Amino acid sequence: MSTVLSRATDAGAQHTDEQDKGRSKSTGRARKAYLHHLDLIRATTFSLVIFVHCLTQTTDEWDSVGVNSTSLLLHFTRNTFFALSGFVLMYQNFDKSDFSAWSFWRRRIKLVIFPYLAWSLIYWVIEDMWAHGRLTEVPSSLDEFGKLAMWGLSGFQMYFLFVMLQIYLLFPLVLWLVRATAGHHRLLMAVSVVAQFATFVTITHWQPPAGFAEYWWHYYATFVPYQFFILFGAVAAVHREEITAWLSGKFWWLATALVGTGALAVGTYLWRVWSDGQRPIYAAAAFQPTLLPFLVVAVTCLYAAALYWAQNWRDFTPRFARAVAFASNRSFGVFLVHVLVLFFILYPKTDGQPTILAALGQPWGTITVYLATLAGSLLLVEILRHLPGSLYLTGRPRLPIDAGRRVRQWRRGRTERAEQTERGERISA
C-alpha cells in the first residue's frame, strides 16, 4: 500500500476559489492581476496526473523498467501542485496588512476538508467494501474508515488533500516566515533545499526502529517532504517580476538543465535496478535524493513555458485559452473523481484482466483508458458542479442551470438552420 501511495502524483490537485483569480473582495482594495499562466500549469499538471495513474494501473507498475522510468520523471507533478499552492496563497496574501489567520482558515479549509471527507467515504464504500462484497459491513466498519481517513488512505490520491489541509493550517506561519526574512530569501531557500535533500536521504535510506516504523511510513501524507516546494512557490510569488525577467531568453539554459537533471535521475534509477538489484517500483520512488534536482528544474521549466505562452501566444490561441481556463477551473474536481472513473473503466474483467485491455492490447489499451478517464472525469465534474452540494463535492460553488437560455439558443439555432435550408431550396429551384 505504501509503495502505491508513494507513486501517486498530485493532482489535482490544486483547487481554487475566486481568490485564485486574483480578485480581492475587500472594499477599496485594488484587484491583483489575473495570472493566466497558472491556468496552463494546472491544466497541464492534472492531465499528466491522470496519465501516470492510467499508465501504472494498466501496465506492470511493479517490475517494468520503462513504466517506472516514466513515472519517476512524472513525480514532478505533485511537487508542481505544492509549489503552485504556495505561489497562489502568497500572491494573494503577502501584501495584505489586515491578514487574519482565522478568516483565512474559515474561508479556505472548508474547501478541502468537506470534499476530503466526502470522497474518502465514497472511495472506501466503493473500492474497499462494495468491490470486495462487504457492502453490508459498512455500518459496523466505520472504525476502519476512520483509520484510513486519518492518513489519506481512502483512494490512493487522497493523501494530497490531507497534505493540503496541513498547508492551509500552516500558511499563516509560512506567511510570517517569508515576511520576516524579506531581503534574505536566497538564504531562506538555501536552508530549505538543504533540509529537503536531508529529508529525501532520510526517507530513502533510514530504517526506523520496529516500534516507530508503522508511523514512519506515513511521511508521504505530511507536509515535511514537500516543504521546499511550498516555500519555492511562496517566495517565487513575492519575486515574480524579477523571476519573469530572469527567465526571459533562458530557453536553452533551461532545456539543458532539464535534460541533464533528467539524465541524472534516470541514470541513477537504472543503476539501482541493474547494478544494485532494486525492484523497479522501489528504485523509482518519489523521494530519491538524485531525483531532487530534476524536480526543481521541471517545476521551473513548466512555469517558464506557461509564462511564455501567456505573454506571447495566449491572445493568438483563443480556443486553446478557453479550453485551458475550463480545465483549470475544474482541475481540483477532476483530481477528486478521476480515480473513481478509472476504477469503473477497469472493473469489468475478462480472464482476470480488465476487459478493455484484453480487447485492445497495448499500447492502445492504456491510451484508450487515459482518454476515457479524462473525458469521464470532466463529464462527472461538470454534472457535480451543477448539483446542490457542489461546494462539498468539488470544492467549488454550484454552477447555475439556465435551462431556458439553452432551450432558446437551441430553438434559435434550429430556426436559423431552417431558414438557411429554405433559402437554399429557393436558389436551387
- Over residues 390-428, the pLDDT tens digits come to 999 999 999 987 655 555 555 565 555 555 544 444 444
Supply the pLDDT for residue 403.
Answer: 53
CA distance 121 to 10: 20
Supply the pLDDT for residue 32.
Answer: 85
Supply the pLDDT for residue 155.
Answer: 87
With CA atoms as reference, report the closest residue to 24 among 110, 108, 92.
92
Distance of CA 103 to the CA centre of its chain: 25
**Residues of the chain under the 70 pLDDT cut:** 1-30, 402-429
Supply the pLDDT for residue 409.
Answer: 56
Give the Å distances, CA to CA, from 185 to 112, 263, 312.
Answer: 29, 29, 29
Cis peptide before 363 (omega within 30 of 0): yes
Give me the DSSP letters along 328-372.
Answer: HHTHHHHHHHHHHHHHHHH-SEETTEEHHHHHH-TTHHHHHHHHH
Grouping H, G, I as helix, E, B as strand and the rest as coil, residue 1 is coil
CA distance 194 to 296: 13
Compute, in degrees rounded to 10, the torsion defined by CA atoms 157, 158, 162, 165. 100
CA distance 66 to 273: 11
Give the Å distances, CA to CA, from 44 to 18, 77, 302, 400.
Answer: 21, 9, 9, 27
pTM recorded for the entire structure: 0.87
Distance of CA 223 to the CA centre of its chain: 15
Residues 366-398 have pLDDT tens digits of 999 999 999 999 999 999 999 999 999 999 999
Supply the pLDDT for residue 273.
Answer: 98
Supply the pLDDT for residue 416.
Answer: 56
CA distance 67 to 62: 9
Tell me the one-letter amino acid at 122: I
Supply the pLDDT for residue 70.
Answer: 97
Owner of C-alpha cell 530569501: 185
| Helix ranges (DSSP H) in 239-287 | 240-247, 251-274, 280-283
What grid cell was written down for 167? 498547508
Supply the pLDDT for residue 383.
Answer: 96
Radius of gyration of the chain (CA): 23
Supply the pLDDT for residue 20.
Answer: 42
Q: Which are the contacts of 310, defined by CB distance < 8 A and separation ≥ 6?
A: 35, 36, 37, 40
Exposed/middle/buried for residue 71 (C-beta within 10 Å: 0-12, 13-18, 19+): buried
Q: Which are the contacts of 16, defined by CB distance < 8 A and separation ≥ 6?
A: 88, 328, 329, 332, 396
